[in-house]
Amino acid sequence: MIKFLIEASFAFLFFLNSFPSRAMGNSDDFIVVVNSSVKESSLTKADVQQILLTNQTTWKDSKKIVIITLPPGSDQAELISKEFLNMTSIQAKKHWLTKVFGGTIAAVPMNADTPDEVVDLVSKTPGALAVLPKDTKPGKAKILSIK
């Protein structure tokens, strides 16, 4: 009986893996938008990761970085989290909550429902940064290149 269950489990896993996986994209599929007060003109993918993980909380000029995201669990937030953090957006939120409860950061990143709303919030928030799908119009926000 155990042998049958093991074989059935392997067959099921093979069946699931035989379907094409969803395209995950790469950093070229995204833009980093910041408030016009941010002096940087480019970041590396590793810089973006450190910022999103809240390991880097200030810009080079010592001004506070304010992260703004799409809602955790949304398709776009999932793609961004997978690409830049190698985790789901829900795992990212848990990471931020752990840092809040540990006293490392004051609050989890702000979020807005759509890329356009995120851009609007970034343009109104000094020091703000967001990662968004490449086709997002930057409005009054500044686009940083990803090196």
Q: What is the mean pLDDT of residues 96-121?
A: 96
Q: How confident is the model at residue 3 (pLDDT cuts 50, 70, 90)?
A: very low
Residues 6+ apart with CB under 8 A from 143: 31, 32, 33, 34
Q: What is the mean pLDDT of residues 110-127?
A: 97
Domain positions in the chain: 24-146
Q: What percent of the chain has pLDDT over 90?
A: 80
At residue 12, the pLDDT reads 39
Q: What is the mean pLDDT of residues 54-78?
A: 97
Residue 25, pLDDT > 80, answer no
Q: What is the mean pLDDT of residues 47-76?
A: 97
* The pair of three-digit structure tokens given for residue 119, joined into one six-digit string: 């851009």
Picking from 123, 133, 139, the residue whose alpha carbon sits closest to that of residue 35 is 123
Q: Which fold has domain 24-146?
A: D-Maltodextrin-Binding Protein; domain 2 (3.40.190)
More confident residue, 41 or 19: 41
At residue 73, the pLDDT reads 93
Q: How confident is the model at residue 92 (pLDDT cuts 50, 70, 90)?
A: very high
Report pTM. 0.81
Residue 44, pLDDT > 60, answer yes
At residue 83, the pLDDT reads 97
At residue 1, the pLDDT reads 53
Buried b vs exposed e over 98-130: b needs ≥16 C-beta within 10 Å? ebeeeeebeebbebbeebeebbbbbbebebbbb
Q: How confident is the model at residue 27 (pLDDT cuts 50, 70, 90)?
A: confident
In the beta sheet, which residues pair with residue 58? 64
